[in-house]
Amino acid sequence: MTTTTRAKSAPKPPPVPPTDQAPGPGARRARRPGVLIAGAGLAIIGGLGATTLAANAGDRQAVLVAATDIAAGHALTAQDLTQALIAVDTNVSVLPADELSTVVGQVAAAALPAGSILAAGDVVAAGPPAAGQVVVPLPVTTTMMPAAGLRPGDRLLVVDTPLAQADPTPGDPQQFPVEVAAIAVPDVNGVVVVDVVVDAALGSEVAKRAATGRFVLVVQPPGEADQ
């Protein structure tokens, strides 16, 4: 007779009590004070940023801008101009967009590349010359141009200079009073053509200096009498 012996199963270990229980559906988590402070700070910063943007937008002004390249002496049309909304420094003189009807028909005092913001001195009521005057274009190199540049209306003296490497001629050099009418954009060599208004009787003499390049420009104070 065969006897079957059953092995006794090992006793089960007692259940381990849970150390952390998930909060029930109705439980509310306590928020950390640091998170609350950080959130409030971000809200304040965001509000200040929005306020600053709104203030900056309020300081902007609609101004006139060249819609295309405009040559000096060109009579402006409405198609030559467009508008832009920009922040304008109070020390900068610009032409407001609401003056478009006044600007149309005036003449560009200097060459205006596309995108240029128009200033009050960029346009004149009528192009020179007047009766008894002529306009002579002077090619001015970078070494002949004043460091501060030139603007329409500047009063100059076109003064004779000697030949290169030559000694100055005895006596006072000849000089011719002129007024800047328009200034072109520099060419690839840096030469700027400056249109000057001169008395008709002196026009041919100034033209000779323009042809030879033997002259220097002397800037006079505004309103100073011709010498």
pLDDT category of residue 14 using cuts at 50, 70 and 90: low
Question: Is the overall model pTM greater than 0.75, yes or no?
Answer: no
> Which is more confidently placed, 2 or 95?
95
> Among residues 117, 107, 113, which one has the least CA distance to residue 184?
113
pLDDT tens, 22-61?
555 555 555 555 545 555 555 555 554 554 444 455 578 8
* Comparison of pLDDT for 121 and 78, the residue scoring more: 78
Q: Where are the domains of the chain?
A: 60-124, 133-219
Q: What is the pLDDT of residue 44?
A: 52
Tokens describing residue 27:
């439980």
CATH class of the structural domain 60-124: alpha beta
Mean pLDDT on 119-139: 85
In the chain, count H helices and then E strands: 3, 9
pLDDT value of position 145: 92
* Token pair in block for residue 53: 């943007």
Asked if pLDDT for residue 227 goes beyond 50, the answer is no
What per-residue confidence (pLDDT) applies to 172?
86
pLDDT at 18 over 90: no
**Could you tell me the pLDDT band of residue 174, with boundaries at 50, 70 and 90?**
very high
DSSP codes of every residue in 115-133:
TPBP-GGGEESSPSP-TTE
Answer yes or no: is pLDDT of 222 > 70.
yes
Q: What is the mean pLDDT of the chain?
A: 78
